[in-house]
Amino acid sequence: MRIFIVEDEPDILRAIEYNLRKEGFETESANDGNIAMEKIIARPPDLAILDIMLPGLDGITLCKALRASKKTSTIPIIMLTARTLEIDKVTGLESGADDYITKPFSIMELIARIRAILRRTRVNSDSDEKLKSEDLELDIEKVTVKVKNKNIKLTAIEFIILKELLKNKNKVLSRESILEKIWKTEDSSNIETRTVDVHIMNLRKKLGKAAEHLETVKNFGYSWRENV
């Protein structure tokens, strides 16, 4: 598995690269957003880690650009940010990031988040299951979503959330249970439930009319409602 790191602080970059290689990952890096964009497009990695504050393209702009490109639209992305305001975290998720970690952070936590995302986004080649809801079809093997036979581009985490909702039609899933589904065996207690809200908001925008089935259950969570 190859991880691309975009970080302009040399000490942090070296620490991340050293520990990822120690864990068996291949790494590539850049300290400038423009250079990173060129390298990632030329050779898409399995996952990208983007700092927000960068020379050239900032991390938010870079994330949006990667999501807009066909070659990199589905790459899992983790944002690194020194900012602690909720609006900055929300902006990162709205730009297409799957997750964020606030500096200063634990290297082991970062590695755990990376492993969790890669594990949950890995295609199960033995599965040919398709989940359907009226004009919407989710193909687990191909990791695709279509609405009226039109492909809808989702991030890795958006795909996982939609899959869980479709698997549990007409059941209410709490924000906490959705987090647990995403991160599986990893400790999700330090991941804010607000993360789920932002991913759901992005799903609604992308699914269009099909999102009418996505119901918010006040003070609890979400449900995919469909006539039984």
Domains of the chain are 2-121 (3.40.50.2300), 130-224 (1.10.10.10)
Q: Contact, 157 vs 117, CB < 8 A?
A: yes
Q: How does residue 116 score in pLDDT terms, banded at 50, 70 and 90?
A: confident
User: Is it the case that residue 28 has pLDDT exceeding 50?
Assistant: yes
- Taking CA atoms, 107 is separated from 32, 103, 113, 170, in Å, by 22, 11, 10, 39
User: Is it the case that residue 9 has pLDDT exceeding 50?
Assistant: yes
Q: Contact, 213 vs 226, CB < 8 A?
A: yes
User: Is it the case that residue 140 has pLDDT exceeding 80?
Assistant: yes
Burial 13-33 (b: 16+ CB within 10 A, else e): beebbeebeeeebebbbbbeb
Q: Contact, 119 vs 126, CB < 8 A?
A: no
Q: What is the DSSP string of 28-46?
A: EEESSHHHHHHHHHHS--S
pLDDT of residue 29: 96
User: Is it the case that residue 78 has pLDDT exceeding 70?
Assistant: yes
Question: Which residues lie across from 224 on neighbouring strands?
Answer: 214
User: Is it the case that residue 188 has pLDDT exceeding 50?
Assistant: no
User: Is it the case that residue 198 has pLDDT exceeding 60?
Assistant: yes
Please give the residue that has the higher pLDDT: either 204 or 83.
Answer: 204
Token digits of residue 120: 């949950």
pLDDT of residue 70: 86
Q: How does residue 113 score in pLDDT terms, banded at 50, 70 and 90?
A: confident
Task: Look at 6-10, 22-26, 151-155, 178-182 and tell me which has the smallest mean pLDDT.
Answer: 178-182
User: Is it the case that residue 125 has pLDDT exceeding 50?
Assistant: no
Share of the chain above pLDDT 90, in %: 52
The listed range with the strongest mean pLDDT (25-34, 119-128, 148-157, 177-186) is 25-34
Q: pTM of the entire structure?
A: 0.68
- Taking CA atoms, 29 is separated from 36, 59, 71, 169, in Å, by 7, 14, 18, 42
Query: How many CB atoms sit inside 10 A of residue 202's CB?
Result: 19
Residue closest to 53 by CA, chosen among 41, 44, 61 = 61
Burial 72-107 (b: 16+ CB within 10 A, else e): bebbbbbbbbeeeeeebbbbbbbbbbbbbbeeeeee
Average pLDDT, rounded, for the chain: 86
Peptide bond just before 104 cis, omega within 30 deg: yes
User: Is it the case that residue 31 has pLDDT exceeding 70?
Assistant: yes
Q: Which amino acid is at 47?
A: L
Express each pLDDT in 36-76 by its tens digit: 999 999 999 999 999 998 999 999 999 999 998 989 988 99
Q: How does residue 121 score in pLDDT terms, banded at 50, 70 and 90?
A: low
List strand residue ranges (DSSP E) for the chain, in order. Answer: 2-6, 26-30, 47-51, 77-81, 99-102, 130-133, 136-139, 144-147, 150-151, 172-174, 214-217, 221-224
